[in-house]
Structure 1
Amino acid sequence: MGTVWRVTLGAVPEGTSVEDLRAGVEGVLAEVNRQMSTYIADSDISRFNRAEAGSWHVVPEGFAEVLEAALTLAEQSEGAFDPTVGPLVNLWGFGPGGRRDSEPEQASIEQARARIGWQRLTWDAAQRSLQQPGALYLDFSAIAKGYAVDRVGEYLSQQGVGAWLVDIGGDLRTQGRKPDGSAWRIAIERPVAGERIINTVVALQDLAMATSGDYRNFFEKNGLTYSHTIDPRTAQPVAHHLASVTVLHTSAMQADGLATLLTVLGPEEGMAFASEHHLAVFFIVRADDGFREFMTDEFRLHMEQAN
């Protein structure tokens, strides 16, 4: 997934060891990668992306779960979230093909744009079968990392671990409480490139958290900043003033996908979506004199618990 993972345990159950649990976690992550990594040539998703037009593909259960969640978010957001946006992400230099330092040609953008569209997918849920309409490229990078967090957490619970924190590249989920009885306290960074500054602390118990921002992965050219988050509706990097979005949810997969969705929508549309769907969301928006913070009532509860 191009990042690091970290697991914190409240205690190690009798009859097992840290080494055993580490091996199990690595097995879970390897399975997710085999199914959904576009960086692995023979993964399920890579084979689908290369498949002939009109071909049908029976996909694993995990793949199916992520696909269905992604399609639901695409429908709810009217395409602001789109699991087929990969060709544009790659063209702008934020995919497996490597980085770029300038805006692509408009003709190339239009060619990539012609290949995307979640509505082109035909999905038979009963058979777990997906049709490749032709040249369509699935990319689960905005949701599969959260799914992996969920799977690792479930594995730990199955092994008898009562309290844990799973963190994969900043997407995290907690279970139970720390050994001292307190909730897990998680910091949200201030969205400043090249710095690590705590902006806010939240208290989490049996909750997941995902943050999406424009301050870590971007390139600059001629005074303009190009974010790694591509708006499928415009085929361009997002260009609004929303610097950071944090979502709390019972599912890390949902938190991950929603953080990207809200980043694409921006501060006004995003807050309206969050309010409509009763989401626990925290926005940091750039202003001329610094930053402004906005949050839903559902999020404010967890800030109050942490203070």
Structure 2
Amino acid sequence: MTGPVRVAVARTLGVLALVVLAGCSFEAEEKVWEISGPVFGTGYHVNVVMEDDQARLESVARGIGEVLKDVDGAMSTWRDDSELSRFNQLPDQSQWTTISPGLYRVLARSRQISDLTEGAFDVTIGPVVNLWGFGPEARPEDVPTEEQLALLLSRIGYQKLDLRAEPPALRAEPRQYVDLSAIAKGYAVDEVARYLESEGLSAFLVEIGGEVSVQGRKPDGNAWRLAIEEPAALSAQRQVNRVVVIGDRAMATSGDYRNYYESDGKRFSHTIDPVDGRPIDHDLASVTVIAEDCMTADSLATAFNVMGSDKAIALATRENIAAYFIVRGEDGFETDYSPAFSSFLTQ
């Protein structure tokens, strides 16, 4: 879902999982322009360095809109007519269904992350997400029963999806409901970044719902500086936990402190553990991952959030993944990070 686009000279940008700490003086020849608008139930902000050329700027803005429209049309579970929804609606998914190259790339990367995290990331978890009331369906009147969860868990599993590379195709047995919400925003960020590069733009920051990709530097020569947010349920309570400089990379954050509901005095996070089908319930408040591409950072952040801090930091250390953890302690938040993350921290 996309909407009206806004184009303006960029100001300091605040977003869900990070804030951009912008410089205040630029060379006259180039400025940082912000292109923004609604998408995927959230918003996108693109800061791009270019000369004051309104015609080209408007063309770039239209191009970004088309890229986001294509991703939404392929991977949305909120649209009945998207490519993914059409597959989900098939009464028989046992035969090969041709899919777009983009959808294939996201599903193939999802499988790799699922294998790496031993199922902590699973794109077939959608029916369980919906059962808990965090999908397109309405929130349930009652918390799911053990019997409901057991029945769904016996039917799902990323291993039940079968991918074919040439030509790209997908099938499933038994029938599955695929939900790419934990990786599609990251992929959309990557696609916008690729589009900007194809337009000859070498310095930009792309952000969608807190997932971000950075390239180049600002006109004054300074790097884009990003701030990891202190977990807080309300936007007005946002504070910076740590500032990072990631270079030409991507960053994503997953946390349990915004999207949740309470029932009978118990808090239920939107992040579901595919192993037991229940909302996560541990002391890890948020995890930030830096990677070469945003769909990898996005999916790993979700998987690490499911795993909890101990298992996640062990895996990140072993696999040389840059990850930063904010954990609830007895006296407030505590932080930890993998060795690969240390080079991105600023003083």
- The residue type equivalent to 2:338 in the other structure is T
Partner residue, 2:10:
none
CA offset at residue 16 of structure 1? 4.8
**Distance in 1 (alpha carbons) for counterparts of 2:97 and 2:54:** 41
CA offset at residue 68 of structure 1? 0.3
CA offset at residue 107 of structure 1? 2.4
Higher alpha-carbon deviation: 10-19 or 78-87: 10-19
How many matched pairs? 305
**Distance in 2 (alpha carbons) for counterparts of 1:246 and 1:197:** 15
The answer to whether residue 30 in structure 2 is matched with residue 30 in structure 1 is no
8 A Cα contact 1:38 1:96, kept in partner: yes
Gaps of 5+ in 1: none
SS at match of 2:68: helix
8 A Cα contact 1:66 1:144, kept in partner: yes
Partner residue, 1:103:
143
- The residue type equivalent to 1:78 in the other structure is E
- The residue type equivalent to 1:4 in the other structure is G
SS at match of 2:50: coil
Partner residue, 1:215:
257
**Of 239, 256, 267, the match for 1:197:** 239
**Distance in 2 (alpha carbons) for counterparts of 1:16 and 1:62:** 29
Partner residue, 2:35:
none
CA offset at residue 177 of structure 1? 0.5
**Distance in 1 (alpha carbons) for counterparts of 2:141 and 2:305:** 22
- The residue type equivalent to 1:264 in the other structure is V
The answer to whether residue 109 in structure 2 is matched with residue 49 in structure 1 is no
Q: Which runs of 4+ in 1 moved over 6 A?
A: none
**Distance in 1 (alpha carbons) for counterparts of 2:67 and 2:268:** 34
User: Scaled by the length of structure 1, what TM-score is found?
Assistant: 0.95
**Of 269, 274, 293, the match for 2:335:** 293
* Aligned alpha-carbon RMSD (Å): 1.5
8 A Cα contact 2:94 2:175, kept in partner: no
SS at match of 1:204: coil
Partner residue, 1:273:
315
Partner residue, 1:91:
131
The answer to whether residue 48 in structure 2 is matched with residue 4 in structure 1 is no
**Of 192, 206, 211, the match for 2:248:** 206
Gaps of 5+ in 2: 1-39
Partner residue, 1:21:
60
CA offset at residue 233 of structure 1? 0.5
Identity %: 44
Partner residue, 1:114:
154
CA offset at residue 14 of structure 1? 6.1
8 A Cα contact 2:251 2:294, kept in partner: yes
**Distance in 2 (alpha carbons) for counterparts of 1:75 and 1:293:** 27
**Of 20, 42, 65, the match for 2:105:** 65
The answer to whether residue 203 in structure 2 is matched with residue 163 in structure 1 is yes
**Distance in 2 (alpha carbons) for counterparts of 1:35 and 1:236:** 28
8 A Cα contact 2:254 2:286, kept in partner: yes
8 A Cα contact 2:317 2:340, kept in partner: no
Mapping 1:226-237, distance limit 5 Å = 226-237=268-279
8 A Cα contact 1:48 1:132, kept in partner: no
CA offset at residue 287 of structure 1? 1.0
**Distance in 1 (alpha carbons) for counterparts of 2:45 and 2:133:** 27
User: Scaled by the length of structure 2, what TM-score is found?
Assistant: 0.85
Deviations along 1:67-119, whole A, 9 cap, x unmatched? 00000111111111111110011111111113347522222222322331011
**Of 175, 183, 186, the match for 1:143:** 183
SS at match of 1:286: strand
**Distance in 1 (alpha carbons) for counterparts of 2:59 and 2:228:** 31
Deviations along 1:217-250, whole A, 9 cap, x unmatched? 0112233211111000010011111000000111
The answer to whether residue 163 in structure 2 is matched with residue 123 in structure 1 is yes
**Distance in 2 (alpha carbons) for counterparts of 1:23 and 1:100:** 39
CA offset at residue 280 of structure 1? 0.8
